[in-house]
Amino acid sequence: MAQRALTGIKPTGEPHLGNWLGAIQPALGLARDYETYYFIADYHALTSVHSGDALRGYVRSISAAYLAFGLDPKRSAFYRQSDVPEIFELSWILSCFTPKGFMNRAHAYKDFVARNQKAEKDDDADINMGLFGYPVLMAADILMFNADIVPVGADQKQHVEFARDIAEKFNRNYGEDVFRLPEPRISESVKTITGLDGRKMSKSYDNTIPLFLDEKPLLKRINQIVTNSQAPEEPKNPDESHVFALHQLLLEAGEEKALRAQYQAGGMGWGAAKKLFFEALNEKLKGPRAEYNRLLADPGYLDAVLAEGKDRARATAVPFLEKIRGLVGVR
Ligand code: ADP
Ligand code: TRP
């Protein structure tokens, strides 16, 4: 049987260049070798997005983004988490096999507590139960479809390990290999992409390059990349430039070498360097941008794609949950 890869995408903002190169591109690459499951983790997003319109909007934009970058819904299962209610029932069942200590030790939760402590607030200030129990829902996402590998960023590795541990406890208790044991897949080659100010590109820092801006606002955004105050004629060190750091992500080795030489030769001001980066990026984004805009203008099509994904996901989830209900004794 083909190995299964499954990954969830949290709709919490408009997709940016870091999301594309760090998550979308590597995830879509798996469809060549694996049976792939991609889903929009809207109930995970609800732990932090508390506006209905905002959540609806992010679900649309992130779905359209994956399709625009080439997700083929015929080949991969592509669905919305909330469309598969069986996942939530499984989440409760799994929570009854999850030591509370796992959640106490979860890095994401601990980071929140640490931030509260730093701000001299109560440890649990602004931490809802959804956030605390987040890894159990994630385990249900993964185990429901018996994923073999789960491609995630390094920050999510521990959550996949919890899913594996929970699956083992469940299997051991009922004396059956009900769940396959998932492995996290951290793509080592994916670097952290830096933002306009040289820190990690992240919507939390407002330093992103959104993927689907029209040309004019895209150039305007690129012009905001922070540079030093060297004059145009001065030679520039590419390894100290935030513009170069971003531009080189789009280049083959030979092209990178040529651009490096251009920086070092002097005679190119920051405005010109940014313009070059803009042209390279715009070339790559032109096609996906047109497709993205087309998809957003056709909500019926997006709905139909997600409805098909829902049927496909539930065709697996419904009978599997029925089996689990029987095992635990509620049927
Ligand atoms: P943000 O930091 O903007 O909130 P998310 O946490 O929603 O982004 O990230 C969604 C996905 O995109 C994750 O898989 C994450 O690993 C990837 N990603 C986000 N920012 C970057 C970045 N700067 N470099 C590489 N990958 C990134
Ligand atoms: N927690 C993941 C993130 O923050 C998103 C996610 C939810 C996920 N469920 C998943 C990823 C299942 C992989 C498998 O990015």
Residues 310 and 265 in one domain: no
Residues 154 and 98 in one domain: yes
Per the structure, how many domains does the chain have? 2
Residues 164 and 216 in one domain: no
pLDDT in tens, 246-264: 999 999 999 999 999 999 9
Write out the residue range of the structural domain in which residue 71 sits. Answer: 4-192+299-328
Ligand nearest to the CA of 8: 2
Residues 24 and 95 in one domain: yes
Residue 241: CB within 6 Å of ligand 2? no
Residues 280 and 303 in one domain: no
274 in a domain, yes or no?
A: yes
Ligand nearest to the CA of 23: 1
199 in a domain, yes or no?
A: no
Ligand nearest to the CA of 141: 2
Question: CB neighbours of 287 closer than 8 A, spacing ≥ 6?
Answer: none
200 in a domain, yes or no?
A: no
Residues 172 and 230 in one domain: no
The Å distance, Cα 232 to ligand 1 centre, comes to: 33
Ligand 2, atom 8, lies closest to the CA of: 8
Ligand nearest to the CA of 198: 1
Q: What confidence score (pLDDT) does residue 271 get? A: 97
44, 144, 271 from 318: Cα distances, Å: 21, 10, 57
Q: How many Å from the N-terminal Cα to the C-terminal Cα in the chain?
A: 30
Residues 141 and 114 in one domain: yes
The Å distance, Cα 203 to ligand 1 centre, comes to: 9
The Å distance, Cα 182 to ligand 1 centre, comes to: 22
Which ligand 1 atom sits closest to the C-alpha of 152?
14
Residue 81: CB within 6 Å of ligand 2? no
Residue 10: CB within 6 Å of ligand 2? yes
198 in a domain, yes or no?
A: no
The ligand 1 site (C-beta within 6 Å) comprises 10, 12-13, 18-19, 22-23, 153, 192-193, 200-204
Query: Tens-digit pLDDT profile for the chain (331 aa)?
Result: 689 999 999 999 999 999 999 999 999 999 999 999 999 999 999 999 999 999 999 999 999 999 999 999 999 999 999 999 999 999 999 999 999 999 999 998 999 999 999 999 999 999 999 999 999 999 999 999 999 999 998 889 999 999 999 999 999 999 999 999 999 998 777 788 999 999 999 999 999 999 999 999 999 999 999 999 999 999 999 999 999 999 999 999 999 999 999 999 999 999 999 999 999 999 999 999 999 999 999 999 999 999 999 999 999 999 999 999 999 999 9
Residue-by-residue DSSP string for 278-308: HHHHHHHHHHHHHHHHHHHT-HHHHHHHHHH
Residue 7: CB within 6 Å of ligand 2? yes
205 in a domain, yes or no?
A: no
Ligand 2, atom 7, lies closest to the CA of: 8
Residues 226 and 264 in one domain: yes
**CATH code, 15:** 3.40.50.620
Which ligand 1 atom sits closest to the C-alpha of 155?
16
197 in a domain, yes or no?
A: no
Residues 64 and 90 in one domain: yes
**CATH code, 226:** 1.10.240.10
Backbone angles phi, psi at 322, to 5 degrees: -60, -40
The Å distance, Cα 98 to ligand 2 centre, comes to: 18
Ligand 1, atom 10, lies closest to the CA of: 19
Residues 25 and 167 in one domain: yes
The Å distance, Cα 318 to ligand 1 centre, comes to: 32
206 in a domain, yes or no?
A: no
Ligand 1, atom 9, lies closest to the CA of: 19
Ligand 2, atom 12, lies closest to the CA of: 8
Q: Enter the pTM of the model.
A: 0.94
Residues 171 and 287 in one domain: no
Secondary structure (H, E, C), 31-76: HHCCEEEEEECHHHHCCCCCCHHHHHHHHHHHHHHHHHCCCCCCCC
Residues 309 and 280 in one domain: no
Ligand 2, atom 4, lies closest to the CA of: 10
126 in a domain, yes or no?
A: yes
Ligand nearest to the CA of 6: 2
